Amino acid sequence: MIAPSRSHSLHLAGRKFTYAERGATKGPLPPGYRHIRRVGELGTGRTTFDAAADFVLSWSMHRAAGLDVRATSNRATEGVDALLRMGIGALRISAPVRVVYDIADPARAGFAYGTLEGHPERGEEAFVVTIGQDDFVSFHVVGFSRPATTLARLGGAAGRLLQDRAIDRYVKVVQRVVARESLL
């Protein structure tokens, strides 16, 4: 099992969002950004939905995908700040984010975070678990982004590839954890 999230005192409260379209992952994505949409099938039933929602909302998905997460709360709820880090040494990338909204209703659970000053990209990503009337459970990642730093702009295609791989990892780790939970 993955270790629970630890709450950390972060110094991100004074940082501002780096984009104006907060909450736009709830509807049509704004022009001028690269758009991201992924859907992963998770199975069926309330147990599957609950396990996936907890995994996503507890930052465990990010950790299982290889990120170091330092957050002001163990749960991703509106207003929570987090510092997501990946890589090692001089190749470590830090990505400060703030949760712009969370979703907690019987058919949908998840959250979206937006980039803060110091993040190499600007934009927003949403991570939402859904359960349909047919009891089918799926996981959705929706986002929009564009480079915010010179290094990210110079990265071009390599940066987009890294972003795609990270999002694909999110979907795969949620699928893997839900599959493992269903075997217990």
Statement: residue 165 has pLDDT above 80 = yes
139 vs 162, residue with greater confidence:
139
Per-residue pLDDT tens digits for 138-160: 999 999 999 887 776 667 777 77
Statement: residue 112 has pLDDT above 70 = yes
- What is the reported pLDDT for 163? 80
The answer as to whether 13 is a domain residue is no
The answer as to whether 175 is a domain residue is yes
Q: What percentage of residues in the chain have a pLDDT greater than 90?
A: 72
Mean pLDDT taken over the chain: 89
182 vs 123, residue with greater confidence:
123
The answer as to whether 8 is a domain residue is no
Where is 29: in which H helix or E strand? none
- What is the reported pLDDT for 182? 67
DSSP state letters, 108-177: EEEEEEEEBTT-SEEEEEEEEEEE-TT-EEEEEEEEEEEE-SHHHHHHHHHHHHHHHHHHHHHHHHHHHH
Residue 178 phi/psi, 5° resolution?
-65, -40
The answer as to whether 130 is a domain residue is yes
Per-residue pLDDT tens digits for 27-73: 999 999 999 999 999 999 999 999 999 999 999 999 999 999 999 99
Q: How many domains does the chain have?
A: 1
| Cβ neighbours of residue 26 closer than 8 Å, sequence gap 6 or more | 101, 112, 126
The answer as to whether 19 is a domain residue is no
154 vs 129, residue with greater confidence:
129
Question: Residue range 151-173: average pLDDT?
Answer: 81
Question: Residue range 14-31: average pLDDT?
Answer: 96
> What number of residues does the chain have?
184
Look up the domain containing 82 and give its range: 32-183
The answer as to whether 4 is a domain residue is no
The answer as to whether 158 is a domain residue is yes
Statement: residue 1 has pLDDT above 90 = no
The answer as to whether 173 is a domain residue is yes
In 10 A of CB 124, how many CB atoms?
28
- What is the reported pLDDT for 160? 79
